[in-house]
Structure 1
Amino acid sequence: MKKHFNIIIAGAGGIAEAVSLILAEWSDVTPTLYIGDRSFLKAKKVAKWVEEGTTKPCTIKAFNLDEKELTEEMIAIFQQGDIILDCLPGSASPRIAQFAKDFKLHYANLTEYVAETEEIIALSKNADTGFLLQTGLAPGYINLLAHELFRKFCNDYKVNSVHTLEFKVGALTKHAVAPHYYGFTWSPVGVATEYLKATVVLRDYVKTTLPSLSERAEIIIDGITYEEDLTSGGGADLPHALSGKVCRLDYKTLRYPGHYAWIEKQIKKIDVAASKIKELQYKMQEVIPHIEDDQIVLYAAIQGRDIEGVLRRREIAKTILPQKIGNHLLRAIQTTTAAPLAQAAQLLLEGKHRGVLLQSHIDSAAFLNGFFVSRVYGKL
């Protein structure tokens, strides 16, 4: 970013850390950062961590983001801000988005939660500022990559529709052990949620809803065998935007073989009356460790016939590893999620956007080759 901005970051977790450091270290003009969390101590800890991690002078202020009240401190900071980057759990996103609307701030978030996204779409319709939603890794980068594949395929082969558009992401450890064949690299509640909530897909060109974990298959990427299955939220708005143009479209999550079978066993043990998401989260956390040394594996492919009837397929696969930014080594899940969020901030702050911006509304080629995104993912 080439001008000075006041950027408010809601949350003090791993992605808040990463986007704060990326903005401090990589912006042409270093912004002033306000880091807010319900725990002031956590916010203060992140602010100190970023100050120690950046090689540039940067003003970083921690504040208490109260869960229930709109405090005088919050009002003062919102009045000074230019944008809110929402790194809180998806359940909190409508409240933060409402603050953005009320104080005429731009807003960007990461959540894959469908109901909360629809709520923000409704509240942002008559907003004076831009609301860019679901702009992390998945949903986020992977949707733009898939949309760009579709655009180029149709342009190059002079067609208006294709048979298959598939896109997949795995936030994985480098090794996996029985019985779960997994390690947490991000939020356990996020994992449980995407496994249990329904997913939106295209089947026979029509948008429809399917249960998550209902279409398991094997896939080989760069010579390594993974399992893929439907999970919630990763499709963003592409099923709506490409309805009638793609016969089969879906987002799937990549895992090592054996993981999904173990998950199915845990789900079957949950009492019918129980909160399934909380119970699955608890069962996973009992035995699955958190692992720092991670990798992101992503894959997108499109298949269809060209204007002469020849069957064509295009594929893109990437593996992203941890990356040093400033004085800190960030995990792959941090950089791949935070870089698109930083790119979203630049798009909103340097543009004239009003109301909601979904993945299909964005110039995918420009975003994918943007300054922040390309330094993590490479050029398209």
Structure 2
Amino acid sequence: MRQVTIVGAGKIGEVIADFLVSSGDYAVSVVDRDAKVLARLAQALPSTTLRQIDVTDARQLAAVLAGQDALINACPFDLSESLARAAVSARSHYLDLTEDVGSARTIRALADGAQTAVVPQCGLAPGFISIAAYDLARRFDELHDVHMRVGALPKFPSNGLKYNLTWSTDGLINEYLNPCEAIVGGVLKEMPALEELEHFSLDGDDYEAFNTSGGLGTLCDTLNGRVRNLNYRTVRYPGHRDVMKLLLHDLRLGERRALLKEILESSIPVTMQDVVLVFVNVSGMRDGLLMQETFARKIYSREVGGRMRSAIHVTTASAICAVLDLLMDGRLPQQGFVRQEDICLDEFLSNRFGRHYVTDGEEPQTAASGGLRQQP
């Protein structure tokens, strides 16, 4: 049985632990500094080993990681570097969910010479979206455009933001403020967040999309020099972007992140009734013809193992668990830095955890399905 330590006993840590324990193939320990959070987890997952430690204490963390096959980081991005360093030192594989570009670059540097695998950005976006996009991109002789769109949205929006909290508030603010990588006209650039607004419809529903930070993972490096345009944008309901620009820039709450977080968490409720939208569109030349291929999914909240789980938690947890499975099965490099685009889409979707991305046994929608309609 594989020995895995999850650092972070929050909601996503709980779902990851639930998936791994339920599989019967992993002995899972969860560590956190918060006794109350661990107590809640003890009731939800009584078969999980729980340890209260200060994860910023290198000595305590090293003791916990002794003999562990992998460390899964389910903490805020500011802890990523120290946790990755601890995993490398303990010769444990390292996996995380970070969307923070700076943290990911530091972790990539730490992977040089590592005797185990270092696999950051294993969630939905960054994460699965890069796996899907690269699978389409590699089918072309010459790449023109790679467009990636992801949104985690409430099924029943009921406020001015047309949004409910479904993910880390710190991560949300981070991606709305930090620069966004893109390739424009063949040139690698940094674009401002919340810009490049577009509107489209999918299956009769109207959406908007705009630049946010971190969703591309390492694709800019991988496809630089091979693609004309590459970008990632977050999907929301129409009007959300303008309200966020008012809060972040006009009211300057982007300079007071702690206050903005308090406002959002005290005013915008969490919901379990959500939908995750995944859309990738790739165009280019193949066999002398200008071609386009599309991957699209809508994934809804559902009951998993007798518990109701939000769509964003299901997609995020299943993604990192699928990557862990593939890593443990020897289907991924066992040492050094591993990119999400190193993962085969077919193997991911065939995995017991990756199957959460397959909806009702349907194949991915293609351009021929006509599901997407661009609005003027």
Q: Given the two structures, how large is their TM-score scaled by the length of structure 2? A: 0.90
Aligned match of 1:78: 65
Quickly say closer, same or farther: Cα 1:377–1:16, change in 2 above 3 A: farther
Matched residue of 1:212: which SS? Answer: coil
- 1:170-189 matches, within 5 Å, as 170-189=151-170
Contact 2:133 2:280 in 1 (8 A): yes
1:22 aligns to 2:9 (yes or no): no
Distance in 1 between the 2:216 and 2:73 partners? 20
**Runs of 4+ displaced beyond 4 Å:** none
Cα RMSD after superposing both structures: 1.9
Matched residue of 2:138: which SS? Answer: helix
Contact 1:83 1:349 in 2 (8 A): no
Amino acid at match of 1:341: I
Contact 2:115 2:336 in 1 (8 A): yes
1:236 aligns to 2:252 (yes or no): no
1:327 aligns to 2:314 (yes or no): no
- 1:293-304 matches, within 5 Å, as 293-304=273-284
> How far is 1:322 from its partner?
1.5
1:42 aligns to 2:21 (yes or no): no
Select the residue among 115, 118, 140 that pairs with 1:131: 118
1:11 aligns to 2:8 (yes or no): yes
Quickly say closer, same or farther: Cα 1:44–1:99, change in 2 above 3 A: farther
> How far is 1:291 from its partner?
1.8
Per-residue deviation, residues 250-304 of structure 1 (Å, max 9, x unmatched): 11100000111111111233449x7354344344345322222111111111122
- 1:54-73 matches, within 5 Å, as 59-72=47-60
Per-residue deviation, residues 94-120 of structure 1 (Å, max 9, x unmatched): 111111011110110000101111111
1:292 aligns to 2:272 (yes or no): yes
Matched residue of 1:371: which SS? Answer: coil
Q: How many residues align?
A: 359
Q: Given the two structures, how large is their TM-score scaled by the length of structure 1? A: 0.89
Distance in 2 between the 1:357 and 1:11 partners? 22
Matched residue of 1:167: which SS? Answer: strand
Structure 2 gaps of 5+ residues are 365-376
> How far is 1:206 from its partner?
2.0
Distance in 1 between the 2:40 and 2:25 partners? 20
- 1:334-373 matches, within 5 Å, as 334-351=313-330, 353-373=334-354
1:314 aligns to 2:314 (yes or no): no
> How far is 1:124 from its partner?
1.6
Quickly say closer, same or farther: Cα 1:39–1:76, change in 2 above 3 A: same
Amino acid at match of 2:217: A
Contact 1:221 1:317 in 2 (8 A): no
Quickly say closer, same or farther: Cα 1:209–1:126, change in 2 above 3 A: same
Distance in 1 between the 2:302 and 2:267 partners? 28
Task: Please say which of residues 226-235 and 95-104 is displaced more in the overlay.
Answer: 95-104
Matched residue of 2:280: which SS? Answer: strand
Quickly say closer, same or farther: Cα 1:377–1:110, change in 2 above 3 A: farther
Amino acid at match of 1:83: A
Matched residue of 1:348: which SS? Answer: helix
Quickly say closer, same or farther: Cα 1:250–1:215, change in 2 above 3 A: same
Distance in 1 between the 2:43 and 2:49 partners? 9
Per-residue deviation, residues 43-100 of structure 1 (Å, max 9, x unmatched): 242133123xxxxxxx42100230432355x444311311001100111011111110
Distance in 2 between the 1:368 and 1:246 partners? 26
Distance in 1 between the 2:343 and 2:115 partners? 18
Aligned match of 1:102: 89
Task: Please say which of residues 88-97 and 362-371 is displaced more in the overlay.
Answer: 362-371
